[in-house]
Chain A
Amino acid sequence: MAEHRLIKALVTEDIGVIELHRPDRLNALNRQMVAEIREQAEAFDQDETIRIIVLKGAGRSFAAGADIGEMMTETPLSMEIADPFADWDRLRQIKKPLIASVHGFVLGGGFELALHCDLIIAAETTEFGFPEIKLGVMPGAGGTQLLTHVMGRRKALEWLLLGTSMTAQEAHHFGIVNRTVADEMLEEETMRFAQALAKQPPLSVRFIKEAVHRVENIEDGLLLERKNFYLLFNSADQTEGMQAFLDKRPPSFKGE
């Protein structure tokens, strides 16, 4: 298996597990980590001995957002050229079922990563949210599209515009997660679920996943979201929002 710095990969029988492994930063996503996740998911996808891929987080959280320090000085052009979302596009091409096994904080990019998975099992004290708006930006890796597909326009707007967290119970109510389980049982219940899926006929699984994904047809929306996300990096509010976050003070937004 390839050498990774920010994730760990392990295999249990026919289940490939990708563990986000930056626990001292609550597994905040950065480009390197997303690239490693994509690489490993593709490797598992190609591996004939693997039937199901599980994503989970080491330590106290699945993933608490993105690395703000890394994003702070981006501009619309620097992002258009670097194309940091190419890895996310490839993650959506994975053919085997992806199960997110989440706990603690699942925020921002972490929530987008979970929403990229086909199924989500959540510990019952998990908190989900898109706090991007509090930083003067917005989700850029599919959050607006994927959340809206699950819960509908009105509820999705409420969460995206307020940026507040939702409990695992709320997430379950709106169909965002498949199961909520006792915190202590997350790993065991995830594996039990994965093992049940691994027994299904792989070709049916693959073709059902492909057909179900076609319903969402979100490619245009994703592109618009991405361009709007880039655009906000030309605003004073983005600079102020992220600086205030790093300074741990309330931001002062001007609409500029």
Chain B
Amino acid sequence: MHLEEMETIRYERADGIATITLNRPQAFNAFTPTMNQEIIKALKDATKDAAVRAIVITGQGRAFCAGEDLGGVDDETDHAAFLRERYHPMMRLIKETPKPIIAAINGTAAGAGMSLALAADFRLVKADAKLISAFMNIGLIPDSGFLYELPRLVGYAKALEIAVLGESLSGQDAYDIGLATEVFSADEWEEKVQSFSHALAQKPTKAFSLIKRYMMDGMHEAYEVMLEKEAQAQRIAGKSADHTEGLQAFKEKREAQFTGQ
């Protein structure tokens, strides 16, 4: 077990799972420049750490993440510059990280906090948590990859409703439209997040990384391009230790022990 307290987040590692806990509960875990930087550092550490096979992002206290801390936004703010400088490097890293990233949405995910949840590979939602775009409530548009991710995840019509009409999604709503993988009640939350993450971390995570690398491309690339990407990715997976183990376990009629190699 490894624990690191940074200024705005907590980084823990145990049993192959790295957990990044946004830790500004007094501000509903709203983003600050420091938090963007610390999330980047934690993701890089988790990516480099061979023992880590799944990454959980969650929030301390009642909220998951309230998005940008509006305390720092005024007439002088250049919104494009702060996206390019602070958010885009963080969002790109989430997409580039080869390990599975789970957003464990323990409470409200609003604005860029919802964008963060959308960028994750899986979303687990506490039943009483809420996802809300919120951007249009202050005359802004959803950002940080939101416009890219949401129509791909739930289809254009639903994505437009969520972005424009401003209704919040409960855990159950998120599950019903396919946005959340699971909804857990408050009393079983930590245990269920743990068991989901643990199960994911036991999978052939090398193969996972290849699916993550290419599957989103299937939403916009030509069929022929995808066939070729699949062929190359399958060649890589076919040379992995996990494939050898999977074949062996299949022949021996036992459960495979994957290592992510």
Contacts and interface: CB of A to CB of B under 8 A. Distances in A.
Q: Tell whether A pairs with B.
A: yes
Interface of A: 181-182, 184-185, 188-189
B86 interface: no
Contacts of B235: 185, 188
B234 to A, nearest CB: 10
Interface residues of B, number: 6
* 6 closest Cβ pairs, A-B complex: A182-B232, A185-B232, A184-B236, A181-B232, A182-B236, A182-B233
Given A182-B232, A184-B236, 10 more contacts: A181-B232, A182-B213, A182-B229, A182-B233, A182-B236, A185-B232, A185-B235, A185-B236, A188-B235, A189-B232
Interface of B: 213, 229, 232-233, 235-236
Nearest to A185: B232
Contacts of A181: 232
Contacts of A182: 213, 229, 232-233, 236
A138 to B, nearest CB: 27
A185 B235 CA distance: 8
A185 B214 CA distance: 14
A182 B232 CA distance: 7
Contacts of B232: 181-182, 185, 189
Nearest to A179: B228
A104 to B, nearest CB: 15
Contacts of A185: 232, 235-236
A45 B236 CA distance: 33
A184 B233 CA distance: 9
B261 to A, nearest CB: 13
Which of A181, A182, A189 lies at the interface centre, i.e. has the most chain B CB atoms within 10 A of its CB?
Answer: A182
Contacts of A188: 235
B230 to A, nearest CB: 10
A189 B228 CA distance: 11
Most interface-central of B229, B232, B235, B236 (chain A CB within 10 A)? B232
A182 B233 CA distance: 7
Contacts of B229: 182
Contacts of B213: 182
A217 B235 CA distance: 41
B10 to A, nearest CB: 31
A171 to B, nearest CB: 16
